[in-house]
Amino acid sequence: MLMNFWQTMQNGFKSEVGAVSLEEMLARHTTAESQFIELQGMNVHYRDVCRCAEPEKAPVLILLHGIFSSLHTWNDWTDILSKDFRVISIDSPNFGLTGAHPRGMFKHIYSDFLNEFTDALGIKQCSLAGNSLGGWMSWEFAGRYPHKVDKVILLDSAGFFFVPPPVLLSMGLPLSGWMASMMPVPRKAMYATIRTTYSRKERLSKPVMERYYDLFMRAGNRAAGAAVLRFIRNRAGFDTAPLKKVTQPVLIMWGRNDAWIPLAHAEKFAKALPQARTIIYDDCGHMPMEELPAESAADALAFLKQ
């Protein structure tokens, strides 16, 4: 195995071990509602769903996923909330079917991307919901472009320093993305990591785990995701300056059994955002929108419509 590793390393970046081609990914993971738009040198994958009686008058809700995830994490919320909103979920740069950003990772990458994305779709104002890394994207965009954001929902959001799970910690080390691309990634190991995001493992279906594994193995995504983690690691966390500028109404949602970002961070966000309301889900992990979709979507709907 060691010899195979060195032989692979000598071949440079010509191939990624186990990588799944974009063509295969498109066949497996696009839906009838999938759309693509050219932005910043990427073919950005998103869903734009509105089942309202008057779609042209529907308020816009943009959904942003977490690290090594994809817009599919919002499938249930989209089904529920699209009756009242124009729901747009995005495969963020460096993840999902969108894949690596040509510039890699850099300051304000996601808030500037969202500014261009909303301009391209003619969206003047929207609400945002973001999970984990998507929460960081949400509050940074709301703080830097306040005229575009009506309300914000933060689900187990990143924003303050914490020690990530070992797999993410290792992925943030120098050369880790390259090594992850050049070495086999056992499917069972990936499944075990995904299970740690749920409070009750029986709620996590095998097709969902397979989707996570698939999109992790999409060509370029391992190195791109590692670059995001390395960027955050090298700065010892997140720049919270935009957070201090968030004045919009905020709903904080958190799973009490979150094994990735501690519950104490919900209190930190509540202190930083005195206008925020907080909901704690006792029987939930890191992703309320997946583990408790009906309950969390109902709470989101009540907040957005009040």
The radius of gyration of the chain's CA atoms, rounded to the nearest angstrom, is 19
The pLDDT score that the predictor gives to residue 185 is: 79
Q: How far, in Å, are 79, 90, 150 from residue 50 at the CA level?
A: 9, 15, 18
CA–CA gap between residue 120 and residue 186 (Å, rounded): 39
Return the SS3 of 142. helix
The pLDDT score that the predictor gives to residue 169 is: 67
| HEC assignment per residue over 260-282 | CCCCHHHHHHHHHCCCCEEEEEC
CB atoms within 10 A of CB 144: 18
| DSSP category for residue 248 | S
Beta carbons within 8 Å of 166's beta carbon, 6+ residues apart: none
Q: Tell me the pTM.
A: 0.92
For each of the chain's 306 residues, which pLDDT tens digit applies? 323 332 333 343 346 888 888 888 999 999 999 999 999 999 999 999 999 999 999 999 999 999 999 999 999 999 999 999 999 999 999 999 999 999 999 999 999 999 999 999 999 999 999 999 999 999 999 999 999 999 999 999 999 987 777 777 666 666 665 566 666 778 898 899 999 999 999 999 999 999 999 999 998 999 899 899 889 887 767 899 999 999 999 999 999 999 999 999 999 999 999 999 999 999 999 999 999 999 999 999 999 999
CA–CA gap between residue 14 and residue 39 (Å, rounded): 26
The pLDDT score that the predictor gives to residue 172 is: 60
The pLDDT score that the predictor gives to residue 175 is: 61
